[in-house]
Structure 1
Amino acid sequence: MSSEDYVKYMTQKIVKYMDTPKEERQKQKKPREKEHHVYSNRWFGVLPFAFRLFLRRKK
């Protein structure tokens, strides 16, 4: 992707964002807020989860 394509893409995204009403943007944001991710899994993948399972089984 050339820099010209990137600038064009970003300009389109910004214009689309500015054209949508504030209420609609807030409606789109609501479902994303409800999704709760465990940050350790999000950042490091499944390894922290597997480690926790291993420790629980060992007890």
Structure 2
Amino acid sequence: MAGNDYVKFMTEQVVKYLDQPRDERKKQRQQKKEFKKQQKQPFLYRWFGVIPYAVILLFKRK
């Protein structure tokens, strides 16, 4: 995108956001936050990778 196109796009996005009612904006932020929580990976996988997580799954099966 050219610089002018980018400024135009960003301006449109800001105006669209500001035109929404305050309650609707809050609701959208809350939904986005809940979606991120649902997509969060397990602690061991997030911090140490796949191998410890796989070992735990193997022990749980037996």
TM-score, normalized by length of structure 1?
0.64
Counting aligned pairs with the same residue, the percent is 32
1:41-52 pair list within 5 angstroms: 48=49, 50-52=50-52
1:34-45 pair list within 5 angstroms: 34-35=34-35, 36=37, 37-38=40-41, 40=46
For structure 2, which runs of at least 5 residues remain unmatched after alignment? none
Question: How many Å apart are 1:29 and its aligned residue?
Answer: 1.4
Runs of 4+, deviation exceeding 3 Å: 54-57
> By percentage of residues, which structure has more helix?
2
Instruction: Indicate the residue corresponding to 2:33 in structure 1.
Output: 33
TM-score, normalized by length of structure 2?
0.62
Please tell me the residue identity of whatever aligns with 1:22: R
Tell me how many residue pairs correspond in the alignment. Answer: 52
Q: Which has the larger radius of gyration?
A: 2
For structure 1, which runs of at least 5 residues remain unmatched after alignment? 42-46
